[in-house]
A = this chain, B = another copy of it.
Amino acid sequence: MEKVIKIGLLGLGTVGRGVYRILEENRENIQRRAGVKLEVKRILVRSLEKERGISIPNDYLTTNINDITNDPEIKIVVEVLGGIHPTLDYVLEALNKGKSVVTANKDMVAQHGQRLFKAAQNNQCDLLFEASVAGGIPIIRTLKQSLAGNCIEEVFGIINGTTNYMLTKMSQGGCEFGDVLQEAQAKGYAEADPTSDVEGFDAARKIAILASIAFNSRVQLNEVYTEGITRITADDIAYAGELGYNIKLLGIAKDRTEGIEVRVHPTFIPKDHPLATVGDVFNAVFVRGNAVGDTMFYGKGAGELPTASAVVADIMDAARDIVRNVPGFIGCTCFREKPVLGIGETISKYYIRLKVADKPGVLASIALVFGNKEVSLKSVIQKEATGKTAELVLVTHRVQEQNVQDALMDIKQLSSVLEIANVIRVEGEK
């Protein structure tokens, strides 16, 4: 109980402050549970002058990374700076100096994971990154340990809080995308430049990490098919409701014999699916294993303390390994090389909304095209005509996506079809 492990913290933004606060406020529990005292020794900041709203001894702060990487007393480096440059260099340097690293940086892990794991392995250090996906939800440790006896078949979930907040509001209020985005920005849930969230890029990084761990095969970020929520309209949400679904932006990964499906897009989810009622900024990840069956893990995906909670759990694991003298034992788990399938190879059901001329025979000509491409339809709703146009809402049975895309190419050519208003995949049904 006498032993102390010293920590170097890179960054003192929202999450950094959260980590410092938790280590202070929950000090006794943490020490008893980790079996060792944990102390922050140095903190890398950009400016020594900035007001931070937290009381930290002045000599903890430094603007020089070498004060941390060259300090042999510091055994664990916690990276909450974000970004790739210069962060990646700092982290590699720390690993090469034999320090275990805990990071919350999904960009870096998704893009440079392989290099980082190699450095960790070469130097017998831990590299832990629970906080990089879905902050407060301990999904990485769950996949790596608790469900390790399973072959994981599917992982999918709501892994971006901003878009979940927006879709929740749209479905409650019947509002359009633009209005809800403004509201989310006003509340601080969406950034001034919301691209990374609303275009699905943030979720893509996270599902790349989750798929790599679940299926033990590295998924590169550029292999993730990514589609955001900017084209979702109040009409789509209303139709979803009518058909018994909610619309959620999901990250989806499935292990198929031929390869791995991995994609991010707006998705119809049946209203009685456990993910359907996950609202506001909450995240939830659904996992199906061949032994455990269906499981779901729910919590806050971001925020100072939820994210810091995950960082601190990783710090404690790294500390236990250091005390037991076994860091670096569990390294990279990508021992397979499975191809990632193209989006055309996806197998799914599809919701398709078409604007068509309101005249006899239109439905027949459309149904004929789908039939020719072997796409069979589960339901068709024809909506009240406004003037000379009508709206057709179709839901298909399970089919390979290429067939749907081929059919839509032909349908676009039909003179009676004015617009393919939206195509949304359907998930979570038997």
Contacts and interface: CB of A to CB of B under 8 A. Distances in A.
A185 to B, nearest CB: 23
A147 interface: yes
Contacts of A145: 138, 141, 145, 313, 316-317
A322 B357 CA distance: 71
Copies per assembly: 2
A305 interface: yes
Interface stretch (A148-156, A197-205, A367-375, A422-430): A148-156
Interface of A: 18, 22-23, 25-26, 29-30, 32-35, 130, 136-138, 141-142, 144-151, 216, 272, 274, 277-278, 289-300, 303, 305-306, 308-313, 315-317, 320, 324-326, 329-330, 333, 335
Given A141-B142, A145-B316, 12 more contacts: A26-B291, A29-B216, A32-B333, A130-B146, A136-B293, A138-B142, A138-B146, A274-B298, A291-B305, A294-B299, A296-B296, A296-B299
Contacts of A306: 291-293
B299 A293 contact: yes
B292 A300 contact: yes
17 contacts: A22-B149, A26-B291, A34-B148, A35-B329, A130-B146, A136-B292, A145-B316, A146-B313, A149-B308, A149-B312, A291-B305, A291-B308, A293-B305, A295-B297, A296-B296, A297-B297, A326-B326
Contacts of A146: 130, 138, 141-142, 310, 313
Nearest to A137: B295
Contacts of A26: 149-151, 290-291
Contacts of A278: 274
Contacts of A308: 149, 291
B149 A309 contact: yes
Nearest to A130: B146
A53 to B, nearest CB: 18
A255 to B, nearest CB: 11
A33 B326 CA distance: 17
A278 B312 CA distance: 30
Contacts of A23: 149
A145 to B, nearest CB: 6
Contact of A324 (B141, B309, B329): B329
A316 B305 CA distance: 31
A340 to B, nearest CB: 19
Nearest to A29: B151
Contact of A18 (B291, B300, B317): B291
Contacts of A18: 291
Given A146-B142, A274-B298, A316-B148, A216 B305 contact: no
B30 A148 contact: yes
A293 B298 contact: no
A30 to B, nearest CB: 6
A317 B259 CA distance: 29
A32 to B, nearest CB: 5
A364 B325 CA distance: 70
Nearest to A31: B335
